[in-house]
Amino acid sequence: MKNLTNLLAATALTAATVAPALAEKWDMPMAYSASNFHSATGAEFAKCVTTGTGGEIEIVTHPSGSLFKGGDIKRAIQTGQAPIGERLLSGHQNENALFGFDSIPFLATSFDDSAKLWDAAKPSIEKLLAEQNLTLLYAVPWPPQGLYFKNEVNSVADMAGIKFRSYNNATSRLAELTGMLPVTIEAAEISQAFATGVAESMVSSGSTGYDRKVWESLSYFYEVDAWLPRNYVMVNSEVWAGVSDANKNVIQACASLAEYAGNWRAKEYTGFTLQGLRDGGMTVGPASDQMVGELKEIGVTMTNEWLEAAGDEGKAIVDAFSSSQ
Query: What is the reported pLDDT for 179?
Result: 97
Q: What end-to-end distance do the CA atoms of the chain give, in Å?
A: 30
What are the tens digits of pLDDT across the range 163-197?
Answer: 999 989 999 999 999 999 999 998 889 999 999 99
Q: Residues near 172 by Cβ (< 8 Å), separated by ≥ 6?
A: 166, 182, 184
The neighbouring-strand residues paired with 146 are 204
2-143+228-272 shares its CATH topology with 146-226+279-323:
yes
Q: Tell me: the pLDDT tens digits for 37-49?
A: 999 999 999 999 9
Q: What is the pLDDT of residues 260-311, one digit of tens each?
A: 999 999 999 999 999 999 999 999 999 999 999 999 999 999 999 999 999 9
Taking the domain 146-226+279-323, which CATH number applies?
A: 3.40.190.170
CA 152 to chain centre: 27
Supply the pLDDT for residue 17. 42
Candidate CATH numbers 2.30.30.100, 3.40.190.170, 3.10.310.10, 3.40.190.10; the one for domain 2-143+228-272: 3.40.190.170
Q: Residue ranges of the domains in the chain?
A: 2-143+228-272, 146-226+279-323
Cα distance between residue 159 and residue 271, in whole Å: 26
- Kindly report the pTM of this predicted structure: 0.89
